């Protein structure tokens, strides 16, 4: 059967599949249902009444938990909000309006961020909406092109920051090597108030048997004499419940004091009840790792199904490749130049919603129009198989016409 006929047959199935966002599936959310009954008391270990205002830096036991999870002293951790993205946004807004410790507000001069690409669309949206110019930096197997990064930050004092997803990056699944981490910590920046936005979103989200580790960026920055350079973000969004998890920020004592001051104007204290029940559920690194193994058991077959369909339908197609992630939530399907947008449009006509082509790039523009972010987590295994087949057929048809 021709590709066009196969595509038409697929279209006639009349499916409605959403592969656009990396959301946990209901079965994954069910793994943390114990949260509903996890509270035995509304008092924290130190007697804090969690029903009331206060505790801007987070409960001591929640800070200790995230300190353990992130390998950082608890005093250098703030637990706040349910969304790490919100914390990233606020760091940027505070830096724009007030400056980072000891420096003038960023907003007084043009501000630029380096953006390893393909990357996380919502990072780029924050920059866009807050008036920060973005420069693409290509990703390699071990992290961004560091020769280019070092050159740019040394020359251009408007470069105040850089987005980093150090492990199982969204969407390429890249794991930063120790050498890259060290170069990022040590590189000479023309801007003295430069910050690494270190988004450790997938620290425990392994798909393979190997649990890959990335070097500790805060330690590397201290050793390189740049203790305030990195701000680390994480959350339990894809560990417990994506809409009601807990988020954390880890950084140098100076950055923590700065954050605490500014966050104190924004809120009279975070949801400590949620922190308390998360401490009861997640307990320690071993408990989190055991929970993540259950997530892995649910996710791995879905990733494998996509990869098998791609191999079957696209394995022989010149110029088409895809990543084989060892963790995280995405597969990056790479098409020949100029075929990604057309593939998304054809997939849409066949009932499959994909992330818009270009979304993984600043301003939504993939200069070569060739990256498709595939998010296998949410649909059922059967739907995933169908969707991957439909995407592959859409791509093949796009290449024919």
Query: At 180, which helix (H) or strand (E)?
Result: helix 178-186
**Looking at 39-47, 81-89, 100-108, 145-153, which segment touches ligand PMP (CB under 6 A)?**
81-89
Among candidate residues 230, 215, 274, the one with its CA nearest the CA of residue 35: 274
Contact region for ligand PMP (CB under 6 A) — 82-90, 93-101, 151-159, 224-232?
82-90
Cβ neighbours around 41 below 10 Å, total: 10
Q: Which of 10, 120, 124, 204 binds ligand PMP (CB under 6 A)?
A: 120
Query: Using CB atoms within 10 A of its CB, is residue 289 exposed (0-12), middle (13-18) or buried (19+)?
Result: middle
Q: Are 19 and 305 in contact (CB under 8 A)?
A: no
Q: How far is the CB of 148 from ligand PMP (least distance, A)?
A: 21
The secondary structure element, H or E, covering residue 126 is: helix 121-129
In angstroms, what is the minimal distance from the CB of 242 to ligand PMP? 6
Report d(CA 76, CA 67) in Å as an integer: 8
Minimum CB separation of residue 271 from ligand PMP in Å reads 14
Residue 374 has which token pair?
Answer: 């595939």
Choices 77-85, 152-160, 253-261, 332-340 (CB under 6 A): range interacting with ligand PMP: 77-85
The Cα 202–Cα 167 span in angstroms is: 6
Tell me 219's DSSP state. Answer: H
| 200 scored as a contact of ligand PMP (CB under 6 A) | no
Q: CB-based contacts of 10: which residues, under 8 Å, 6+ apart?
A: 350, 389, 390, 393
Among 199, 228, 366, 383, binds ligand PMP (CB under 6 A): 199
Interface pattern 134-173 for ligand PMP (x via CB under 6 A) = -------------------------------x----x---
Q: Which is nearer to ligand PMP, 160 or 373 (CB)?
A: 373
Q: What's the rounded Cα separation, in Å, for the pair 59 and 271?
A: 10
**Sign of torsion, CA 295 239 201 121?**
positive
Rule CB under 6 A: which of 327-346 touch ligand PMP? none
- Count of beta carbons in the 10 Å neighbourhood of residue 283: 15
Residue from 237, 275, 309, 389 binding ligand PMP (CB under 6 A):
237
Closest approach, Cβ 91 to ligand PMP, in A, equals 13
CB of 72 to ligand PMP, least distance (A): 17
111 in contact with ligand PMP (CB under 6 A) = no
Determine the Cα–Cα distance for residues 249 and 106; give it in Å rounded to an integer. 21
Site size with ligand PMP, rule: CB under 6 A: 13
Please tell me whether residue 201 binds ligand PMP under the rule CB under 6 A: yes
The reply on whether position 359 binds ligand PMP by CB under 6 A is no
Q: Provide the CA 125 distance to its chain's centre, in angstroms.
A: 13
Name the residue nearer to ligand PMP (CB basis): 167 or 396: 167
Which two three-digit tokens encode residue 400?
């024919």
Window 1 to 30, contacts with ligand PMP (CB under 6 A): 22
Helix (H, G, I), strand (E, B) or coil at 147: helix
Quick one: which segment of 78-86, 222-230, 275-283, 335-343 binds ligand PMP (CB under 6 A)?
Answer: 78-86
Which of 238, 229, 241 has its CA nearest to residue 330?
Answer: 238
**From 79-87, 217-225, 261-269, 331-339, span contacting ligand PMP (CB under 6 A):** 79-87
* Stretch (H or E) spanning 264: helix 253-266
Q: Which of residues 85-104 bind ligand PMP (CB under 6 A)?
A: 85
CB 129 within 8 A of CB 183: no
Per CB under 6 A, does 235 bind ligand PMP? yes
Out of 28, 48, 76, 83, the only residue in the binding site for ligand PMP (CB under 6 A) is 83
Binding flag, residue 252, ligand PMP (CB under 6 A) = no
What is the binding site for ligand PMP (CB under 6 A)? 22, 83-85, 120, 165, 170, 199, 201, 235, 237, 242, 247
């Amino acid at each position: 059967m021709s590709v066009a006929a196969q595509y038409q047959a697929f279209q006639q199935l009349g499916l409605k599949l959403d592969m656009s966002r990396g959301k946990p599936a209901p079965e994954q959310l069910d793994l943390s249902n114990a949260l509903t009954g996890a509270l035995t008391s509304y008092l924290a270990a130190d007697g804090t009444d969690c029903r009331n205002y206060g505790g801007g830096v987070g409960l001591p036991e929640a800070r200790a938990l995230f300190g353990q999870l992130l390998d950082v002293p608890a005093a250098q951790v703030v637990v706040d909000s349910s969304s790490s993205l919100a914390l990233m946004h606020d760091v940027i807004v505070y830096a724009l309006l007030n400056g980072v410790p000891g420096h003038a507000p960023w907003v007084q001069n043009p501000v630029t961020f380096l953006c390893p690409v393909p990357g996380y669309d919502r990072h780029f949206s924050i920059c866009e909406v807050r008036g920060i110019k973005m420069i693409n930096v290509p990703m390699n197997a071990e992290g961004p092109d560091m020769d280019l990064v070092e050159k740019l930050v040394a020359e251009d004092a408007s470069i105040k920051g850089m987005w980093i997803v150090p492990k199982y990056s969204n969407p390429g699944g890249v794991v930063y090597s120790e050498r890259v981490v060290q170069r990022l910590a040590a590189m000479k920046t023309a801007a003295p108030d430069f910050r690494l936005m270190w988004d450790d979103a997938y620290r425990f989200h392994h798909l393979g048997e190997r649990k890959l580790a990335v070097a500790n960026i805060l330690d590397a920055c201290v050793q390189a004499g740049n203790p305030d350079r990195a701000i680390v973000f994480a959350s339990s969004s894809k560990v417990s419940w994506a809409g009601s998890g807990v988020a954390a920020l880890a950084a140098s004592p100076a950055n923590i004091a700065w954050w605490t001051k500014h966050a104190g104007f924004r809120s009279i204290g975070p949801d400590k009840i949620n922190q308390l029940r998360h401490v009861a559920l997640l307990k320690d690194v071993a408990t989190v790792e055991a929970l993540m193994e259950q997530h892995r058991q649910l996710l791995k077959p879905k990733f494998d199904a996509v990869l098998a369909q791609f191999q079957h339908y696209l394995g022989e197609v010149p110029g088409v490749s895809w990543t084989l992630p060892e963790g995280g939530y995405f597969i990056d399907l790479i098409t020949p130049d100029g075929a990604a947008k057309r593939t998304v449009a054809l997939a849409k006509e066949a009932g499959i919603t994909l992330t818009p082509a270009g979304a993984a790039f600043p301003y939504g523009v993939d200069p070569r129009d060739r990256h498709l972010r595939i998010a296998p987590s949410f649909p059922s295994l059967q739907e995933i198989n169908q969707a991957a087949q439909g995407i592959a057929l859409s791509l093949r048809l796009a290449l024919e016409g």
